[in-house]
Amino acid sequence: MAEVEQPQIYLITPPEFELSRFPTRLAEVLDAHDVACVRLALATRDEDKISRAADALREVTHARDVALVIDNHILLVERLGLDGVHLTDGARSVRKTRKALGPDAIVGSFCGASSHDGMSAGEGGSDYVAFGPLGDTGLDDGTVAEKDLFQWWSEMIEVPVVAEGALTPEIIKDISPFTDFFGIGEEIWSQEDAVQALSDLKAQFS
């Protein structure tokens, strides 16, 4: 049996943050931990606000050789010099987005708890598929991505998978053998010391 590699970290920004403070917090986390990718996931639809945030974070991530992707805003990827896009509509836009951005851009797809959407996204050219949330968020329709989905995916499907949403230390320990990435956001940003909070979560990786 080949040794199973530990999952990698995929950081997700808070839905809103202060431009004067957050890039520094992000830099501290990136300097302390190996991070595969950062996703700009602002709740606002204000393009000016998003552009300014993307510019500030791009300086931080690219200086450290970390990819920066953005939620849904396909048209901003090239304009802002980002590495790709994270789509939140399952498999629906993957093929079209891949065609628009070309083979080198990162295209990821959030598929809730649907293995069917995940497989369709992979076939459409998605670089990774994200499933979640893994615990109760009190939001949406209460659908939770269960451990057996990740277990099945890791055994059957080549496309890398991200576990994200409502992660706890217990869930991380449980899912760790079956996911390629953990999408970690509010789990650390809501803590005073994000660097230490991420260390605590990584301690659960197996």
Query: What pLDDT is stored for residue 139 in this prediction?
Result: 64
Please, which pLDDT band fits residue 57 given cuts at 50, 70 and 90?
very high
Candidates 202, 132, 198, 183; CA nearest to 10 is: 183
Distances (CA, A) of 28 to 23, 64, 138, 195: 9, 11, 31, 7
Continuous segment of H or E residues that includes residue 156: helix 147-156
Q: What is the pTM of this model?
A: 0.96
Average of per-residue pLDDT across 90-115:
97
**Topology classification of domain 8-202:** TIM Barrel (3.20.20)
Average of per-residue pLDDT across 51-61:
98
Q: Which residues contact 162 (CB under 8 A, 6 or more apart)?
A: 10, 108, 128, 129, 130, 131, 132, 179, 180, 181, 182, 183
- Please, what is the average pLDDT of the chain? 95
Separation between Cα atoms, residue 192 and residue 196, nearest integer Å: 9
pLDDT, one tens digit per residue, over 164-200 is 999 999 999 999 999 999 999 999 999 999 999 999 9
Average of per-residue pLDDT across 106-127:
97
